[in-house]
Structure 1
Amino acid sequence: MKAVIFRRHGGPEVLSLTERAVPEPGPGEVRVRIVVSAVNPTDWKARGGMRAEPGAEIPETVPNQDGAGVVDAVGPDVTGFAPGDRVWLVLAGAHGPSSGTAQEYTVLPPEKLVRLPDGVSFDEGAGFGIPALTAHRALTVAEDGPARLAPGALDGRTVLVSGGAGAVGNAAIQLGRWAGATVIATVSTDEKAALARAAGAHHVVRYPDPELAARIREAAPDGVDLVVEVAMGVNAKLHTEVLRPRGTVATYGDDRGTGTISLDFGPNLMLNARYQFLVLYTVGADKLRAGAEDVTAALADGALRLGEDHGVPVHRFALADTAKAHTASEEGVTGKVLIDVTPAG
């Protein structure tokens, strides 16, 4: 089978296409034929090594966490899945160096698989993995809010989505609308404003703007209940200006920041503000499972969709061009980067 691998950390050039043996599922394992793999920032950050020693040799690793495909074979003691089942995957690459989705087949435990509803494409199954699970967690951490999402779960609540044209921002808008929230999104350009509106944002405001807080308050005079934040350090002061009392900031990124965040104690104290930092790798299996169930329900309802008319332009690459796909994501292309691995049929 064809697989993309890297043996040392570095830029996209460390990725290479190779031939590997098709893996056999052991007891309690499922083999999935990958139809579509998706690229997220976590994938190229892991490839680059983050805190690892530059150039150091590592076990042969297949990149990419998100993907969707068809169950190809099951090992002994597996129940709940059978050959032919359409599935999307939860943090596939985190299972081990050889389990990433940039290859034709991967072997995973059943808890990494989620059934893909009828009528939902492999593109959407792959494209909404990490972004939608991150958005789900962000939308379910508020002190006074729901722990699960469903139609009506966020009725009467106002959500501010920072970076509404990004992958997580888009998923937060679509999931927030599905759950009944009033959604305000911030964006940096007119083009991105159009994408946030296509995703379903009720109000869209541009930054930079010295009156940004006032513009948000026009849409939410009593303040926002929840902020889904991609630029924590840059927007720390804004939070105290737009949050309602007992409001929550759920942050998954520090875009344009320094990695160090300063918070004004007094304003946050008087607001009883809550800050929730989040990353999927340590969120807990129960939270991942709950998120996967709710995201699947939203997919089945048609509430999560890819494509420019839903605020998510799609950029496609062949498996042999995985390095180009990583480059596109790393350079900040707007939309979703997908890799075609095997035919859908």
Structure 2
Amino acid sequence: MKAVTYTSTGPSDVLQYGERDEPHAGQGEVRVRIHVSGVNPTDWKSRSGSGAGELARAQVPNQDGAGVVDEVGDGVSGLSVGDRVWVWDAAYQRADGTAQELVVLPERQVVPLPQDASFDLGASVGIPALTAHRALTVHEGGPAELSPGALHGRTVLVAGGAGAVGHAAIQLAVWADATVIATVSSHAKAELARAAGAHHVVNYRDGDTAQAIGALAPRGVDIVVEVNPAANAELDARIAAPNASIAVYADSPGEATVAIPVRPSMGKNLRYQFVLTYTTTPASKDAAVHAVAAAIADGALPIGAEHGLPVTRFPLSETAAAHDAVEGGVVGKVLIDVA
């Protein structure tokens, strides 16, 4: 089968396209013929590593993907050959990501994909949507699992509303009936955030951002989905409602620490929650997968430029270029056509 692998960490040219032996499903496992593989920042960062270094075994990159079940192992009861599916965390602590024609995964990591949902969508929801779900459910007294109406009466601020996680956070929050404010850095990205469903969009390069958000949310913001805590810590403390949660899922290059305004945060009893989808509890991950699957079924997570998430495509043989595009900050979602 065709696959992309690397045997040492480093720049994208460590990725090699070629042939690999076909895997087979074992006990409790499912083999998926991947049609589309999704690329996230975590994929190129894992491949890059902390510097050049040899790996103990060849690694196939990419966590997310979608395709069709073509083999099931003993003990698998919820999936059958021919089922359309999406997969999550394929390459986490495993050598087999989705940049290959066939991938074998535990049944838990293979989720049915409705007939009316594209493989592109299935390959786009893993890391971004599961991260967004966790960020939206850390609020004290809030739901552990999103559903329609679960965030009714809440105001959510999504920083970086034109990114993949921001896009998913907007869509999930709207699906759960929150009022959503997104911040962006340009008028073009503002249009993307609006297309995703944000009720209000603030360009933080235009005027006083805190004042603009305060006018939209006079009692404050209940949940902040934060992509740049170092730059936004003071802003978040100003616009947060009492007892709000600030969920941090990323940092900026070169910003390893965050200076939190202590007294303003104490005065409002703010909660800072750091989020990494890989290491959430099994209960939190299961809730996220269940909610994202329900949102897909409800048609609440569409992608494409008209829905605020432009798609850039590459063939499997150009996976290195796909990684470079994500590392370079391309707006939208990068997908790889495998099948």
TM bucket, shorter chain:
over 0.9
**CA spacing shift, 1:256–1:59, aligned 2, 3 Å:** closer
SS at match of 2:321: helix
What is the alpha-carbon distance in structure 2 between the residues aligned to residue 20 and residue 256 of structure 1? 35
Aligned partner of 2:49 in structure 1 is 49
- 8 A contact 1:231–1:257 mirrored in 2: no
The root-mean-square deviation of aligned C-alpha atoms, in Å, is 1.1
SS at match of 2:336: strand
1:31 and 2:28 are equivalent in the alignment: no
Alignment of 1:87-166 (within 5 A): 87-97=85-95, 99-166=96-163
Note the residue ranges of structure 2 that are not aligned, 5 or more in a row: none
Aligned partner of 1:341 in structure 2 is 338
- 8 A contact 2:63–2:91 mirrored in 1: yes
Aligned partner of 2:288 in structure 1 is 291
Deviation of residue 208 (structure 1)? 3.0
After superposition, the C-alpha distances for 1:19-76 in whole angstroms (9 at most, x for unaligned) are 01111112221111001000000000000013xx523344100000000111110112
What is the alpha-carbon distance in structure 2 between the residues aligned to residue 31 and residue 283 of structure 1? 25
Match of 1:173 among 162, 170, 191: 170
Aligned partner of 1:307 in structure 2 is 304
- 8 A contact 2:186–2:205 mirrored in 1: no
What is the alpha-carbon distance in structure 2 between the residues aligned to residue 27 and residue 64 of structure 1? 24
Question: For residue 27 of structure 2, what is the amino acid of its counterpart?
Answer: P
Match of 2:57 among 33, 56, 59: 59
Aligned partner of 2:6 in structure 1 is 6
Q: Return the TM-score normalized by structure 1.
A: 0.96
Deviation of residue 332 (structure 1)? 0.3
What is the alpha-carbon distance in structure 1 between the residues aligned to residue 258 and residue 28 of structure 2? 43
Match of 2:265 among 268, 272, 276: 268
Question: For residue 315 of structure 2, what is the amino acid of its counterpart?
Answer: A
1:74 and 2:72 are equivalent in the alignment: yes
1:197 and 2:221 are equivalent in the alignment: no
Deviation of residue 211 (structure 1)? 1.0
Question: For residue 292 of structure 2, what is the amino acid of its counterpart?
Answer: V
What is the alpha-carbon distance in structure 2 between the residues aligned to residue 181 and residue 246 of structure 1? 17
- 8 A contact 1:234–1:256 mirrored in 2: no
Question: For residue 47 of structure 1, what is the amino acid of its counterpart?
Answer: R
What is the alpha-carbon distance in structure 2 between the residues aligned to residue 225 and residue 300 of structure 1? 27
Deviation of residue 148 (structure 1)? 1.2
- 8 A contact 1:232–1:257 mirrored in 2: no
SS at match of 2:123: helix
What is the alpha-carbon distance in structure 2 between the residues aligned to residue 301 and residue 88 of structure 1? 16
Deviation of residue 210 (structure 1)? 5.3
Count of aligned pairs between the two proteins = 339
Deviation of residue 95 (structure 1)? 4.8
Moved more, 315-324 or 25-34: 25-34
- 8 A contact 1:231–1:256 mirrored in 2: no
